[in-house]
Amino acid sequence: MKVGVISDTHGLLRPEALAALAGCERIIHGGDIGSLEILDQLASIAPLHVVRGNNDLDAPWARDIADSLHFNLNGREVWLVHDIADAPAVLDDAITLVITGHSHKPLIEWRGERLYLNPGSAGRRRFKLPVTLALLEVTGTAMEPQLISLLE
């Protein structure tokens, strides 16, 4: 299953991001969305899993979006939260994928059998950080993450 992971769009969904997400079977947004239109555009590509970010908290359109989600993705248990600081200190052993955003810093880190993935920021460039998203191939036996740079 090809999964697109995007975060911190802050109201900007770049054409490069849409092109990179084309063909995904599922899209995950790690928060700081910026507008309902972004979710509508992403949902036109594939089913969505999404959490609110700290910049979405006061937006009326984001009122019903969860702060964290636990779901199954092609046989893998996933924990999705905007800020890693808001993740539980101890996660259920069944969770093999933790997806966050917030820092704008892309990260692919294996801690034992658990993958921690932050796709970075796909919105406006912040400081000198890269503008990225992630693609993730998920099978019953493996997860293959890849960071995609959206700007040269």
Give percent of the chain with pLDDT exceeding 90.
89
Whole-number percent of the chain with pLDDT over 70: 99
Longest CA–CA separation in the chain, Å: 40
Kindly state the helix (H) or strand (E) to which residue 144 belongs, with its residue range: strand 143-149
Tell which wins on pLDDT, 110 or 152: 110
Query: Across the strands, what pairs with 21?
Result: none
111, pLDDT greater than 90: yes
Comparing C-alpha atoms, which of 9, 1, 2, 3 is closest to residue 120? 9
Q: Cα(89)–Cα(26) distance, rounded to whole angstroms? A: 27
- The full set of domain ranges for the chain reads 2-149
pLDDT at 152 over 80: no
Tokens 């993740």 found at: 87
CATH number at 2-149: 3.60.21.10
Give per-residue pLDDT as tens, 122-131.
998 888 899 9
